[in-house]
């Protein structure tokens, strides 16, 4: 959690232009391999936020629509903001069959506020990139009275610890700073910290936090593609990244028959506007 907070406090929160295009180089990869949000977590969020079938949702940082589609299937009217042009295009493709979904290529910070218009403000693995002093007040202002903030999170998928120990041999050679393992307890603590930020904003009340354990299996190609979509790997120099991925591929192919099983927590924070 400390690393996450420090990242937000440095150049991410200060350089909007850099944040707007941060995922652009890996938009296709993000769309292909990032885990989607399960019906279970989406249905629970809809229930906790008391959304009727004619509810309107503002989504912040929709990316290629990994969460958007799950809500669109339920018939909600959605305005979805995404600063990356590449991700916006993918979101439009993924939501093409849902006429009530509008994708706007803009950041939440630059979006012209429509006060009191929405029943819910939704963000899936996105709201932590926005400075809290900007994001929470603006989200509250966009909501109708008693509207809800819905924050969804898919934590970083992790291999079993024994598998991690084998892969760690490669990390120690080429990227020791990335050799960090999040067990379930660590992910719970990170999520609790994110919930505390909601409370500390002073804009929302009655924060409800729920999570579901998930598992997923990737072949080696998709796993390495997945890693490329995470921020620490985006910052890694290409030479080091190539060497790291070559080493990881060799380990996974020789030790684990070319595939890897990962586990992570999928979670939601639901809070009502004060």
The DSSP-derived string for 178-203 is: G-----HHHHHHHHHHHHHHHHHTTS
Confidence at residue 251, expressed as pLDDT on a 0 to 100 scale: 98
Confidence at residue 53, expressed as pLDDT on a 0 to 100 scale: 92
What pairing do the DSSP bridges indicate for beta strands 101-104 and 77-81?
A: parallel
Confidence at residue 14, expressed as pLDDT on a 0 to 100 scale: 57
Confidence at residue 2, expressed as pLDDT on a 0 to 100 scale: 46
CA–CA–CA angle 33, 151, 83 (5° rounding): 60
**Angstrom distance (rounded) from CA 215 to CA 218:** 10
**Angstrom distance (rounded) from CA 168 to CA 56:** 46
CB-based contact 87:30 (threshold 8 Å): yes
Confidence at residue 10, expressed as pLDDT on a 0 to 100 scale: 47
Confidence at residue 20, expressed as pLDDT on a 0 to 100 scale: 82
The residue extents of the domains of the chain are 2-154+183-214+264-273
Confidence at residue 64, expressed as pLDDT on a 0 to 100 scale: 98
CB-based contact 227:249 (threshold 8 Å): no
pTM for the model stands at 0.93
Mean pLDDT by 10 residues, the chain (274 residues): 48 66 92 96 97 97 98 98 97 98 97 97 95 96 97 97 98 96 94 94 97 97 97 94 98 98 97 98
Task: With residue 156 as reference, give the H or E element that holds it.
Answer: none
Question: Domain 2-154+183-214+264-273 classified CATH 3.40.50.150?
Answer: yes
């Amino acid at each position: 959690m400390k690393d996450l907070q420090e990242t937000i406090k440095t150049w991410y929160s200060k350089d909007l232009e850099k944040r707007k295009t941060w995922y652009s180089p890996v938009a296709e990869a993000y769309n292909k391999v990032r885990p989607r949000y399960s019906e279970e977590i989406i249905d629970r969020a809809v229930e906790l936020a008391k959304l009727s079938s004619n509810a309107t949702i503002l989504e912040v940082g929709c990316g290629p629509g990994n969460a958007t589609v799950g809500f669109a299937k339920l018939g909600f009217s959605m305005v979805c903001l995404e600063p990356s042009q590449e991700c916006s295009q993918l979101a439009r493709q993924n939501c093409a069959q849902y006429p009530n979904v509008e994708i706007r290529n803009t950041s939440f910070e630059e979006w012209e506020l429509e006060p009191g218009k929405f029943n819910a403000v939704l963000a899936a693995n996105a709201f932590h990139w926005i400075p809290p002093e900007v994001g929470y007040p603006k989200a509250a202002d966009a909501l109708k009275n008693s509207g809800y903030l819905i924050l969804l999170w898919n934590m970083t998928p992790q291999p079993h610890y024994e598998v991690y120990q084998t892969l760690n041999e490669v990390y120690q050679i080429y990227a020791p700073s990335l050799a960090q393992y999040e067990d379930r307890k660590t992910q719970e603590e990170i999520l609790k910290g994110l919930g505390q930020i909601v409370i500390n904003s002073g804009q929302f009340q009655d924060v409800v936090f729920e999570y579901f354990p998930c598992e997923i299996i990737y072949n080696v190609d998709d796993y390495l593609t997945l890693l490329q979509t995470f921020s620490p790997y985006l910052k890694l120099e290409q030479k080091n990244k190539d060497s790291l991925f070559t080493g990881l591929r060799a380990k996974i192919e020789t030790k684990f028959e070319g595939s890897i099983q990962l586990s992570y927590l999928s979670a939601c924070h639901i809070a009502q506007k004060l």
